Structure 1
Amino acid sequence: MRRTARGYRHLTAGGVAGVVSLGTGAAWLVLALAALPGAGRRAWGPLSRWTAALAARERERAEALTGTPLPSAFAPVTEGGGSRRLLRRNLGDRGFRRTLAWLPAHGFLAPVTFLLAVGQPFSTAVTLLVSGRWLVGNATGGARPYSSSFFFTVDSAPLACTAMALDVALTLLIWTAVPWFARLQARLAHTLLSAHAKPYLADRVQELAATRAAALEAHGAELRRIERDLHDGAQARMAAVVLQLGVAEKTLERSPEHTAELIRRARDTATDSLSELRGVVRSIYPPILSDRGLRGAVSALAGRCPIPCSLRLEDVERAPAAVEAAAYFIIAESLTNVAKHSGAGLVTVRVRAESGRLRIRVSDDGRGGAEESAGTGLAGIRRRAEAFDGRVRLTSPAGGPTTIEAELPCAW
């Protein structure tokens, strides 16, 4: 019973998604035809994002039903040339072709299985009602023959009972097959929406090797920055303190007033050095994360943001320290970019924990047009996320809005 109820839920959602998939497939067909003469360039990005979201939702449903993870095979190219060039490059990708093939296949299979699973019980109820009324009318001599749903004419009581029995049997058969129908939809997603194992593993090995190299490079750069900050800042100031105290020691007997001034300068220099040391420590691991956790630290960042900031935290509890630090610096850098470059009047930060992953979304209503190559810290955000096998997605059309989405795997 549970499997059947679960199958009905899957088929109901799939029926609606199937209609949407069919429309999306038609939109791709129109775009492909428009691309032949070079039109439709602006539609590639929005339609690709919509298709990616639709396919991701179907993979999630299939994963929930089967318990098997489905890595994405859909990675469309939306930049770099006109419509015809984009069409050629994308059609050369196997994952792109399989995703486009899934759209009409799912658009046909999902509504058909939904109608079979949901429509047949209604058909049986109608047959029982009509046949029952016919039997009552036949007993009084006022019944007229009628056509059954099995394409034979009912003009006698045995045929009426046969039509009722066949409908009930077919309904029971379909009711039993509902879990199989649901698995059929999931199997279609596994076949067309999931990256094949060998190419996927090869890509993952290459991707992990690249992110590991980037993480090591970033770690080395961070160590060099810390060494430089200590050498040029705190270390130089501490040397000045030692020098000032040495001069004070020599002038103590013959000029006490001058000695007191030197000691005050040494104290001020030591205070500045301590402040710089605290700044270096905060750049390594912010103490506020230890004291208040990620929720409190992000709230403090939002409160210090010079632009009005709307903050939404969902199910955010304590996470591994490295993940919290990465999330904190990603949000801090994103808010800094908004304040410096966007010209926005409002920035929205959303952080939520979901399915063992920490999802971060920072969006603003500014001028848009942000690019990683512009040196605004976006490349650093991506490196921080990829060091944890995370993902970063930037959406920033000219005129805005700009949205940065980061995803970090973590164990809560």
Structure 2
Amino acid sequence: MKTRTRRSLEAVGQGLALSVISLAGSITLFVVAVVSICLILLGVGVLTTPAVLTAVRAHANQRRLLAAKWSGVRIPVPYRAFPPDLRGGITGQVERCSLLLKDPATWRDLGWLLADMTAGFITAVFSCGLLLYAVEGFVLAAGLWRVFTDDRYWYAFVPVSSQLTGLAAAALGLVLFALGLRYNTDLLRLHFTLARTLLAPRHDQELALRIERLTESRHDAVDTSAAELRRIERDLHDGAQARLVAVGMDLSTIEALIEKDPARAKELIGKARQSSKEALTELRDLVRGIHPPVLAERGLGDAVKALALRLPVETEVGVELPGRAGAPVESAAYFAISEALANAVKHAAADRIWVDLSYAEGMLRVAVTDNGGGGAAIGTGSGLSGLERRLGTFDGILAVSSPAGGPTMVTMEIPCELS
């Protein structure tokens, strides 16, 4: 009961925030987008439309992130990727504008903006308005209705003009408060469900997009695997192999000096022992980079906690996993988290990081949050594009919320089953 009450009270603030975003943000973006598209006929819109539609997508992705975080509603990200050889300059702007307008997801976004400023706003307002309006009824019962008027004050259908009618307003407020506690989380979920209905692609479009992404992620996985093998070969050649060759040469020298110069042989034995220890350490680090032993032995939660202990930034890890995912999924999630943490340490200038792992509705969910300067975005060379491709191999998704000034939240979802 306490958990539901706390969740309902949280939904008040969330609904209030969504109502402001839906009314101000969606209206502004819709008007600007329509005007920019109309200006394409004059040539000006070709330059402005890509930036405007990119902002619309960022706005929609922010709603996807909030839907997953606040109500557990997953909204697919259906945008087509730009070709890697897209040109720059005016020609590139024209191509980018053309690709955006040909993407069906662009027109779904615009339709969603129109609905978000109307029906979306209404559901968001009701999710917070019931409880807030109920408080007004309690205030009127205290006789404060005289502050508003000397005659009578209408509270819903109750005319408040005396202490008795004030108590009637309080009774109505109590009913509204009970209704708010019971239904405001459902109204919040309805808001996100409406967004999913309008933003998500049709089933055939989703399947085609999924095939396209899986094909691309398969190529990325092959390239990544080949690059990883080359890295392992290079590390073995330059590290452990070189040290073991040196140990072998020292042993040959020791064999020749063991009788002629025992002191020198003893010195070389110590050197060979130290080289063998260093080679063993390098081999262990290499194995840990391929698949950490703690991940295989203790699972994803403990592996991430062990990873956090090695970071130079204070990191808090929360784990709510009722079981273990398959080894490939655990490995992908571990290295994705590792990369997200490395980005936070390297680029965010944060002094605290939070990692939350949970599982719900067939989804392994990971949120990596830092209190750094923000400004992170997919496709800006921050490493997030590679992380997105890594997750795409498992049909996973990545969402990033990183306003200027922070905080930054990187959310990952991977469909899987737990043992």
- TM range, smaller chain: 0.5 to 0.7
Aligned residues: 321
Q: What is the distance in 1 between the residues matched to 2:76 and 2:279?
A: 50
Q: What is the distance in 2 between the residues matched to 1:367 and 1:57?
A: 20
Q: How does 1:147-162 map to 2 (within 5 A)?
A: none
- Does residue 97 (structure 1) correspond to residue 107 (structure 2)? The answer is yes
Q: What is the distance in 2 between the residues matched to 1:59 and 1:290?
A: 29
Q: How does 1:83-122 map to 2 (within 5 A)?
A: 92-101=102-111, 107=118
Cα deviation, 1:79-133, whole Å, max 9, x if unaligned, reads x999x98998755543332454356568569989xx9xxxxxxxxxxxxxxxxxx
User: Alignment partner for residue 278 of structure 1, among 274, 284, 288?
Assistant: 284
Q: What is the distance in 1 between the residues matched to 2:199 and 2:389?
A: 27
Contact 2:350/2:373, CA 8 A, preserved across alignment: yes
Code of the residue aligned with 2:252 in structure 1: it is G
User: Alignment partner for residue 256 of structure 1, among 257, 262, 268?
Assistant: 262
Contact 1:343/1:367, CA 8 A, preserved across alignment: yes
Code of the residue aligned with 2:215 in structure 1: it is A
By how many angstroms is 1:252 displaced?
A: 0.8
Contact 1:71/1:194, CA 8 A, preserved across alignment: yes
Q: What is the distance in 2 between the residues matched to 1:59 and 1:403?
A: 13
Residue 32 of structure 1 is matched in structure 2 by 33
Q: What is the distance in 2 between the residues matched to 1:350 and 1:289?
A: 17
- Does residue 330 (structure 1) correspond to residue 349 (structure 2)? The answer is no
Contact 1:248/1:259, CA 8 A, preserved across alignment: yes
- Does residue 294 (structure 1) correspond to residue 304 (structure 2)? The answer is no
Residue 312 of structure 1 is matched in structure 2 by 318
| TM-score, reference length from structure 1 | 0.63
Identity %: 38
Question: Partner of 2:280: helix, strand, or coil?
Answer: helix
Residue 238 of structure 1 is matched in structure 2 by 244
Higher mean displacement: 259-268 or 322-331 = 322-331
Q: What is the distance in 1 between the residues matched to 2:192 and 2:215?
A: 32
Q: What is the distance in 2 between the residues matched to 1:57 and 1:371?
A: 17
Q: Structure 1 pair 33/188, CA: closer, same or farther in 2 (3 Å)?
A: closer
Cα deviation, 1:251-283, whole Å, max 9, x if unaligned, reads 111111111111111111111111111011101
Q: What is the distance in 2 between the residues matched to 1:327 and 1:408?
A: 8
Q: What is the distance in 1 between the residues matched to 2:225 and 2:80?
A: 29
| TM-score, reference length from structure 2 | 0.62
Consecutive unaligned residues of structure 2, counting only runs of 5 or more, are: 1-15, 83-87, 127-190
- Does residue 384 (structure 1) correspond to residue 394 (structure 2)? The answer is no
User: Alignment partner for residue 212 of structure 1, among 207, 214, 218?
Assistant: 218
Question: Partner of 1:361: helix, strand, or coil?
Answer: strand
Q: What is the distance in 1 between the residues matched to 2:323 and 2:68?
A: 27
Q: What is the distance in 2 between the residues matched to 1:194 and 1:342?
A: 32
Q: What is the distance in 2 between the residues matched to 1:194 and 1:100?
A: 13
Code of the residue aligned with 1:274 in structure 2: it is L
Contact 1:73/1:96, CA 8 A, preserved across alignment: no
Q: What is the distance in 2 between the residues matched to 1:294 and 1:95?
A: 35
Q: Structure 1 pair 375/270, CA: closer, same or farther in 2 (3 Å)?
A: farther
User: Alignment partner for residue 227 of structure 1, among 233, 246, 257?
Assistant: 233
By how many angstroms is 1:349 displaced?
A: 1.5
Q: What is the distance in 1 between the residues matched to 2:233 and 2:32?
A: 54
Cα deviation, 1:209-239, whole Å, max 9, x if unaligned, reads 1110000000011011111111111111111
Contact 1:24/1:51, CA 8 A, preserved across alignment: no
Provide the aligned C-alpha RMSD in A: 4.5
Residue 175 of structure 2 is matched in structure 1 by none
Q: What is the distance in 2 between the residues matched to 1:333 and 1:56?
A: 20
Cα deviation, 1:291-345, whole Å, max 9, x if unaligned, reads 3211111112222221122322223532111211222222222222222222112
Contact 1:32/1:87, CA 8 A, preserved across alignment: no
Largest Rg, 1 or 2: 1
User: Alignment partner for residue 354 of structure 1, among 350, 360, 363?
Assistant: 360
Code of the residue aligned with 1:238 in structure 2: it is L
Q: Structure 1 pair 47/332, CA: closer, same or farther in 2 (3 Å)?
A: same
